Amino acid sequence: MLASLSRGFFLTLADSASLKRLASRYGMRGREGFARRFIGGETLDEAIETASQLERRGLLHTLNHLGEHVRTVAKAEAATVEYLTIIERVRSARLTCNLSLKLTQLGLELDRATAATNLRRILEAAEQGHGFVRIDMENSPIVSATLELFETLWQQGHRNVGVVLQAALYRSADDLRRMNALGARVRLVKGAYKEPERVAYQQKAAVDAAFLRLMCGLLQDGAYPAIATHDPKMIQAGCAFAREHGISTDRFEFQMLYGVRRDLQASLHAQGYRLRIYLPFGHEWFPYFMRRLAERPANVAFVIKGVLHEHVGQGQAFGKH
């Protein structure tokens, strides 16, 4: 039954304000909140502690303060200040500074100048601690503006910044050639957004084939590429391509989401591959969480199990009083 659940169903729920309000009451409550499997915490303190645990295990990480599509300049400014605070706190905690962010969180949909100014402030602060900032890719209407702003800052001399390309989009092959020519660092993902047929592959097999083509091009010609997938077939193909072409393990890394396929994470780490964990945190966790459910039915099973466990625990507690 779980396997038949529509990916589009969960992506639609991600935009539900009423469901978001309901889930927010319980999803991150206490240590057993059902969303904590995939979210590094609601507060920066929690995220710092989670990142510290990952580093102690020998894993890399990238912090993402969740949020997107801000509607006012004031909120874009607040998000920027939050990232500046994150950079300072990460530096104080003596952790590696690697951030991921969305440009709509910095005001891209208000005007590009605002987003460019805010991103520049973050890059300059990160540069002081040798930090790196990855611009997450959003849905297809945002892609051109995202890449154009990235290229503008690249041309201004900022080199501690990279981008993300989605294999599901037809345009990504051309975008990858452009990014490789620049020497930009690219994270390759399959794509988590529901996109129309005119711009994106609709079938899993077609997305997988595109991911394989792009991954090989990225490993061959890219600048320290990041292969972001939880698909064992894609991982095996990437490892095999690297071996066959003499690409050493220090020239690329795999990336996985916090809490997803922890078995694969452990296996890759044990084999000596570099592995970076995408570590999201913050109060705006619900849309991100729903996209994780959309990607794998197994994630749905985990959440249902967690919710049932929580209710059983509550029932036992109530029975004691």
Please, is 110 exposed, middle or buried when counting C-beta atoms within 10 Å of its C-beta (0-12, 13-18, 19+)? Answer: middle
CATH of domain 45-284: 3.20.20.220
CA distance linking residue 201 with residue 207, whole number of Å: 6
Per-residue pLDDT of the chain (321 residues; tens, 9 = 90+): 444 445 555 555 445 555 545 455 555 555 555 667 788 988 999 999 999 999 999 999 999 998 888 999 999 999 999 999 999 999 999 999 999 999 999 999 999 999 999 999 999 999 998 999 999 999 999 999 999 999 999 999 999 999 999 999 999 999 999 999 999 999 999 998 889 999 999 999 999 999 999 999 999 999 999 999 999 999 999 999 999 999 999 999 999 999 888 899 999 999 999 999 999 998 877 777 776 666 655 555 544 443 444 334 333 322 222
Domain limits, the chain: 45-284
73-94 core/surface letters (b: 16 or more CB in 10 A; e: else): eebbbebbebbbebbebbbeee
Positions annotated as catalytic residues are: 136, 187
